[in-house]
Amino acid sequence: MRGDGISNFREFVDRLIANRLTLAGGVVVVSLFLLSLLAPQIAPYDPDEVDVKNILAAPGRQHLCGTDDVGRDVFSRMVYGARISLKVGFVAVGLATIIGVVLGALAGFYRGWVENVIMRFVDLLLCFPSFFLILAVVAILEPSIWNIMIIIGLTGWMGVARLVRAEFLTLRERDFVIAARSLGAADLRIIFVHILPNALPPVLVSATLGVAGAILTESALSFLGLGVQPPTPSWGNILMAGKDNIEIAWWLSLYPGLSILITVLGYNLLGEGIQAALDPRLRTRS
C-alpha cells in the first residue's frame, strides 16, 4: 500500500508538470516564496531608507523600480512586501481551513441538529458580502497585519465547511467507515483518521485558491488605508502612494499592480491545475 501511495503521488506530480499553465503558476508561487525568503539578500536598499535627493525618481540603474514620495526604493519595498503577502495568505487561509474543516466534518458526520445549526450559521454569514464585513470589522479594530490575517481567516471558512460537509456525506457510509465502527473506533478517530484524509483533496484546491483571494483582500484593504500601515511595506500601500502621484510617478502604480496580478494569477492557475490532476472527470475531458 505504501508503494501504491508513492506511485499515485508521482503520477499526480507528473500530471501537474505536464500542464503548462499549472507549471507556470507553480513557478510564480515558488518564485514568490524564494523572493520573500531571500528578501534581505535580494533587496538593494533598506525598505525604510529615505533618500530626500531622489524623491519620486524614475526607474533607472540606481533604482530599478524608481522611488516613492519620500525617496524610498520601490523595488526593495516590493520585495519585502512579498513577505507580507505570503504571511497574510498562508496564516489567513490556514485559520479559515482549520475552522472550515472542523465544522464541516462535524456537520457531515453527525447530521441532524448539529448539521442544521452549523449550516444555517454558514448560510447566515454568506448573506453578508465578505469584503464589506471585513471592512466593518477592520474599521472598529486597530488596523494591523495580525488583525487583517485573523479577520480574513474568520470570514473565509464557509466555503471550506461546505466542501468538507459534502465529502463527509459521501464518505460516511463507505465500507471502511462501517468497518471502523464495527471495531469500536471512537467518533473522533473515525472523523479525523479514517474519513478526513479522503476528504482533503478539494480542501487543498480551495486553500490554494484562497491564498490568492487573501492576498487580493489584503492589498485592497491596504490601498484603502485599513490594512498594513506604513512604514511597513505592502503592495497595497505602495499602490495607495501611487494613487496620489499617478500623473507624475506611474511606476508606483504599475509595478505593485503587476505584482498583485501575476501572484493572484499564479495561485489561481496552480489551484485549477491541482483540481484537474485530482479529479478524474476533468482529466478525461482534457
Contact by Cβ (8 Å): 155, 133: yes
Residues in the chain: 286
Return the minimum-mean-pLDDT range out of 4-13, 37-46, 103-112, 170-179. 4-13
How many alpha carbons lie under 13 Å from residue 213 in its C-beta half-sphere? 19
Grid coordinates representing 135 are: 471592512
> Which domain CATH number covers 153?
1.10.3720.10
Contact by Cβ (8 Å): 174, 187: no
Residue 239: Cβ within 10 Å count: 22
- How far out from the chain centre does Cα 82 lie? 13
What's the structural domain count of the chain?
1
Grid coordinates representing 239 are: 499602490
Q: What are residue 180's phi and psi, to 5 degrees?
A: -65, -40
Average pLDDT of the chain is 86
Residue 284 pLDDT: 43
- What is the rounded average pLDDT of the residues 209-234? 87
* Model confidence pLDDT, tens digit, residues 126-139: 888 878 878 888 77
Contacts of 24 (CB under 8 A, 6+ apart): 266, 269
Instruction: Using pLDDT thresholds of 50, 70 and 90, give the confidence band for residue 92.
Output: very high
Query: Angle 28-131-252 (CA atoms, 0-180°, nearest 5)?
Result: 50
Domain that residue 51 falls in: 2-285
Between 11 and 43, residue with greater pLDDT: 43
Instruction: Using pLDDT thresholds of 50, 70 and 90, give the confidence band for residue 11.
Output: confident
- What is the rounded average pLDDT of the residues 163-177? 89
Residue 265 pLDDT: 93
Residue 111 pLDDT: 84
Residue 7 pLDDT: 64
Residue 279 pLDDT: 66
pLDDT at 2 exceeding the cut of 60: no
pLDDT at 142 exceeding the cut of 80: no
Residues 158, 160, 163, 168: what is their CA dihedral angle, to the nearest 10 degrees?
A: -100
Residue 1 pLDDT: 43
pLDDT at 271 exceeding the cut of 60: yes
Residue 28 pLDDT: 92
Grid coordinates representing 31 are: 518564485
pLDDT at 3 exceeding the cut of 60: no
Q: Tell me the range of 6-15, 121-130, 255-264 where mean pLDDT is highest.
A: 255-264
Between 156 and 1, residue with greater pLDDT: 156
pLDDT at 285 exceeding the cut of 70: no
